[in-house]
Amino acid sequence: MASAVTSINDIKVLKLAEVHAKPSKSMMSYGTAGFRGKANELDHIFFRMGLLAVLRSKCKKAVIGVMVTASHNPEEDNGVKLIDPHGEMLQQEWEVYATKLANVGNDEIIKELNNIVKLENISLEEQATIFTARDTRPSSIALSQAVKDGIAALGGTSKDFGLMTTPQLHYVTCMFNCGETDASEESYYTHFADAFKSLVKEKSDSSIVTVDCANGVGAPKLQKLYEHIGGSIDLVVHNNAEVGNGKLNENCGADYVKIQQQAPVGLNMEPYHRYCSFDGDADRLVYYTLDSDCNFILLDGDKIASLFAHHIQELLADAKLEAKLGVVQTAYANGSSTNFLKDKLKVEVACVKTGVKHLHHKAQDFDIGIYFEANGHGTVTVKESWRKLLASKTTQTNEDEANAAKRLQTFLSVINEAVGDAMSDMLAVEAILHAKDWGVREWSALYTELPNRQMKVKVADRTVIETTDAETRTVKPSGLQDGIDSLVAQYVNGRSFVRPSGTEDVVRVYAESDTQENANSLADKVSSLVYDLAGGTGEKPKCS
């Protein structure tokens, strides 16, 4: 099998590997969202991920997606990730292959490819088809070409969808592999718009949403979706680089709003109007508004998950349907949201490590699994066996129960089950608010968040931090967890944890308490402790 690779592909691979040469000292690892870094340092990574995508396609005998984006990162960054056949993240075992292939010397590429072929027993006679897409970064066109060069070098076929949101490529890849050979960007709009219009037949006076698109690909794609929705809702697009001069993710977007807890640049807010923000590739969503005293109110991933759980639970009750309903969170989830889900809704809550791949996997343990990171990245998964049960309930003779089952079935169709999707999640939120005749005031009142603060501490080597219990506690360095516990005990409703970043040498700090002043103070003290015990560099961070 290895000889087949050498005889058929080695000359072309090696020739193009020289064109996309690896810098001698470059070392990177495949993280939760693939590879990310400064765009001018990544050309060889993109070429090699094109090679890997071909082997993955041959191995799975299915179409694989390759997305070129760095999501919420600054515009000068870029990144690449592979999408598996059903729209899910790349299988974790293959992340290891990706990291090895990215880091070997140019003269070792063939050997590494052969190793993968042998370990996975890949038939090289299989066809390979790769769907590619990119975001709006200036570097994305050239880096997409590097991916396509890698695909061509191993004899694969690429179909380039051009500009797309990340969730759109996940959706199209999944639908094609599920038998919809005409899966396209247009079919994406048609599917989600039709489901939404079935739930929201006419807009109410309050159905106006201002959407900050982070000057990213979400702006033109949201406008296309809006054309398909018709008169069901009014959308106002803000931070659209096509009609302004704003920079991607700069002082705008979901990550900015979540971390800074303030409106994006250029947005003049009005009390209780609905605002939401996407990130650069439109897979994160957060809502926000002002109260009557012009205090900023954030409705993040925790609030979205709670709204979904509340609505789904009501529809299950109306339809007289039993389902194992669960919500998956990370340690970043606000303590009040966890208490609301457990104590008020009586919903099972699971906590997993940070990273969508961990949440998605755990959500599939439930008949209906809702997962959201606090940053607004999340979706709902449904077991196929339970989906069939739901479909059978829509034909029951009891009209009220059948109608409730139909509403739940349609609501689940509004959600992009393959991955977190800012556009489809926004439609789901709006459908629920319409059904309940709620605004953001009523939604926000589900529970009151504990004030919190996030910080990051620059360190010489983030690997000195080791964690356990879904990253809620540290085991190294010695004394750090005892110090955190001692500090937390000094604050009412205090909670704090630290974890190493997956992409840079920083340690992320989270703290919450009964007041914003106390949350800031706790975050400061924990950050200072991390700085002292974990080899902090530069100036000590301080938020208060």
SS3 labels along 425-447? HHHHHHHHHHHHCCCHHHHHCCC
Fold of domain 452-533: TATA-Binding Protein (3.30.310)
Q: Is 424 a catalytic residue?
A: no
496 is in an annotated binding site: no
Whether the Cβ atoms of residue 81 and residue 88 lie closer than 8 Å to each other: no
- Out of 57, 71, 444, 527, the active site residue is 71
Residue keyed to tokens 């003269």: 107
Q: Which amino acid is at 325?
A: L
283 is in an annotated binding site: yes
Alpha carbons within 13 A on the beta-carbon side of 182: 4
Give the Å distances, CA to CA, from 26 to 40, 46, 201: 12, 13, 54
β-sheet bridge partners, residue 236: 210
500 is in an annotated binding site: yes
Strands 495-500 and 452-458: unpaired
The ranges assigned to domains in the chain are 2-183, 187-297, 301-444, 452-533
Whole-angstrom distance, CA of residue 105 vs CA of residue 188 = 40
- Predicted confidence (pLDDT) per residue in 454-492, tens digit: 899 999 999 999 999 999 999 999 999 999 999 999 999
374 is in an annotated binding site: yes
Residue 265's φ and ψ, nearest 5 degrees, are -55, 140
Whether the Cβ atoms of residue 165 and residue 124 lie closer than 8 Å to each other: no
Q: Which amino acid is at 492?
A: V
309 is in an annotated binding site: no
264 is in an annotated binding site: no
Locate all alpha helices (DSSP H) within 383-509, ordered by sequence.
Answer: 384-393, 399-413, 422-436, 440-444, 480-488
DSSP letter (8 states) at residue 459: B
Whether the Cβ atoms of residue 304 and residue 373 lie closer than 8 Å to each other: no
71 is in an annotated binding site: yes
Tokens of 33: 């969202």
469 is in an annotated binding site: no
Residue 129's φ and ψ, nearest 5 degrees, are -125, 130
375 is in an annotated binding site: yes
Whole-angstrom distance, CA of residue 67 vs CA of residue 87 = 12
The residues, ordered by sequence, that sit 6+ positions from 105 with a Cβ below 8 Å of its Cβ are 22
Whether the Cβ atoms of residue 278 and residue 284 lie closer than 8 Å to each other: yes
Sign of CA dihedral 264, 266, 271, 273: negative
Whole-angstrom distance, CA of residue 109 vs CA of residue 111 = 5
187-297 and 452-533 share one fold = no
Whole-angstrom distance, CA of residue 159 vs CA of residue 157 = 7
502 is in an annotated binding site: yes
pLDDT (tens, 9 = 90+) of the chain, 544 residues, equals: 344 443 345 778 888 989 999 987 888 889 878 999 999 999 999 999 999 999 999 999 999 999 999 999 999 999 999 999 999 999 989 999 999 999 999 889 999 999 999 999 999 899 999 999 999 999 999 999 999 999 999 999 999 999 999 999 999 999 999 999 889 999 999 999 999 999 998 766 667 999 999 999 999 999 999 999 988 899 999 999 888 789 999 999 999 999 888 999 999 999 999 999 999 999 999 999 999 999 999 999 999 999 999 999 999 999 999 999 999 999 999 999 999 999 999 999 999 999 888 999 999 999 999 999 999 999 999 999 999 999 999 998 899 999 999 999 999 999 999 999 999 999 999 999 999 999 999 999 999 999 999 899 999 999 999 999 999 999 999 999 999 999 999 999 999 999 998 767 899 999 999 999 999 999 999 999 999 999 999 888 887 5
CATH class of the domain whose range is 187-297: alpha beta
503 is in an annotated binding site: yes
Q: What is the CATH number of domain 2-183?
A: 3.40.120.10
Q: Which amino acid is at 322?
A: E
CATH class of the domain whose range is 301-444: alpha beta
Whole-angstrom distance, CA of residue 530 vs CA of residue 360 = 30
**Collapsed DSSP state (helix, strand, coil) of residue 258:** helix
